[in-house]
Amino acid sequence: MITSADLETVAEVLDETFPGSRPDTRRALILSVEVRTFRARQTVLAQGDDTHFGVVLEGHVGIRRTTVDGRELIPLIVSRGQLGPVLPIAGRPSSAELLGLSPGRLALWSSNDVQALAAQDAGFAVALLGHVLLAVEEVVERMDGLLYQNAQRRVARVLDQHAEIVFGDQAVVTRSYLPALVGTSREMTGRVLRQLEAEGVVERIGRGRLRLLDAAELTRTAAPSPDPGARNKFLVARDSAMQE
């Protein structure tokens, strides 16, 4: 059952997320919303489900995909005001699942209803497109890193990018999630963490948490290669290999 507090939160988040949309569009979304509460480690929407349009109201959600060979990847983490699915109005089964990383709430709508509203409200459509493109850009950047960055830089980059929810007093992202976020095996991720710990950058605490000891060194380790031609060299080598 949706409470008046839920509807107030939905209205606030819609105002923040789609400021250029028409008031009647936001009212229509409020009247048709489904609010779903989730726990940490709970699957909110499963891979293969019908695609919904979702906006996070509270908490943190990971977009997790299981590949054909059984590997799990989390290319994107979203929080308040951000879209749940990467392609929220695709009109096809979802290619990824939404995993609750912390307790929270998600506002959901039918993708068909959202498509109809976007067709009538250019401000809503443009804002929606902007959010989708930002999400896709982040995913592409993450996948780009998988192609040419070494494991240490990939781990450091994830830790640096998500420092607030990795190193906080109540960590949202524990060590168990890092292999899926980084795109490496548990063994390789553990090896990198031990190396960073030996260098005094982080400290492992208990079975799952991490403490940040040297933020500046973590940022330096996560930074792109100082060789400005490194990525171009990689692309040339890749293209040559594809032509052989």
Residue 236 confidence (pLDDT): 52
* 39/111: higher pLDDT: 39
User: Greater confidence, 87 or 167?
Assistant: 167
Residue that is written with structure tokens 């949706």 in the block: 2
* 232 within 8 A of 220, measured Cβ to Cβ: no
pLDDT digits (tens, 9 = 90+) for 58-114: 999 998 888 877 888 888 899 999 987 655 555 677 778 889 999 999 999 988 889
CB atoms within 10 A of CB 219: 15
Beta-bridged to residue 93, according to DSSP, are 50
How high is the pLDDT of residue 204?
93
Residue by residue, DSSP assigns 90-145 as --SB-SSEEEESSSEEEEEEEHHHHHHHHHH-HHHHHHHHHHHHHHHHHHHHHHHH
Instruction: Provide CB contacts within 8 A for 188, sequence distance 6+.
Output: 151, 179
Q: What are all long-range contacts of 219-223, with beta carbons under 8 Å and residues at least 24 apart?
A: 219/160, 221/152, 221/153, 221/156, 221/160, 221/196, 222/153, 222/156, 222/157, 222/159, 222/160, 222/161
Confidence of residue 50 (pLDDT cuts 50, 70, 90): confident
Percentage of the residues of the chain whose pLDDT score is greater than 70: 85
User: Does residue 12 surpass a pLDDT of 80?
Assistant: yes
The lowest-confidence range among 126-130, 168-172, 195-199, 216-220 is: 168-172
pLDDT of the residue at 125? 93
Give me the domains of the chain, ranges plus CATH numbers.
4-137 (2.60.120.10), 149-236 (1.10.10.10)
pLDDT, average across residues 43-60: 87
What is the pLDDT at residue 40?
92
Mean pLDDT of the chain: 85
42 Cβ contact partners less than 8 Å away, ≥ 6 residues apart: 99, 100
| Whole-number Å distance between alpha carbons of 99 and 21 | 28
H/E element, 209: strand 209-212
Confidence of residue 244 (pLDDT cuts 50, 70, 90): very low
Q: So what's the pLDDT on residue 231?
A: 47
pLDDT value of position 69: 79
